[in-house]
Amino acid sequence: MPIKPENKSRYPKNWKQISEDIRFNRANNRCEGCGAENYKPHPITGSKVILTVAHLDHTPENCDYENLKAWCQRCHNTYDQSHRKQTRRDSKKNGQCASEVSSMDI
């Protein structure tokens, strides 16, 4: 997932190197969830796989390797689904409008 501009300062300066190490070295260019190969058609969806690195605790500042997973879009979105719903619910409770809520999804 691309880093939203409002969250960029939450990532360490060496995030690019951390992300590359997770995706290319540890995960060997494959999704750590379903095994889909980076830059190839996904076996289930058929869409081109672009590996991303997910923070399991949804906290960009926490870049401990145990907190990071190299995932295809499908696995990353599946994992984030409940977190996004909760973020929207919490934001509505706090009176934020829909455009603010969607920009908060990480």
For the residues of 16-85, what is the DSSP string, one character each? Answer: HHHHHIIIIIISTTB-TTT-PBTTSB-TTT-SBP--EEEETTS-TT---GGGEEEE-HHHHHHHHHHHHH
- Report the pLDDT averaged over residues 18-42: 98
Range of the domain at 29: 5-100
Contact 26, 70 (CB under 8 A): yes
Q: Is residue 32 part of a domain?
A: yes
pLDDT digits (tens, 9 = 90+) for 47-103: 999 999 999 999 999 999 999 999 999 999 999 888 777 777 777 777 765 445 444
**What CA–CA distance (Å, rounded) separates 12 from 29?**
22
Q: Is residue 62 part of a domain?
A: yes
Total domains present in the chain: 1
Q: Is residue 106 part of a domain?
A: no
Contact 44, 72 (CB under 8 A): no
pLDDT top residue among 63 and 104: 63
pLDDT top residue among 34 and 105: 34
Q: Is residue 12 part of a domain?
A: yes
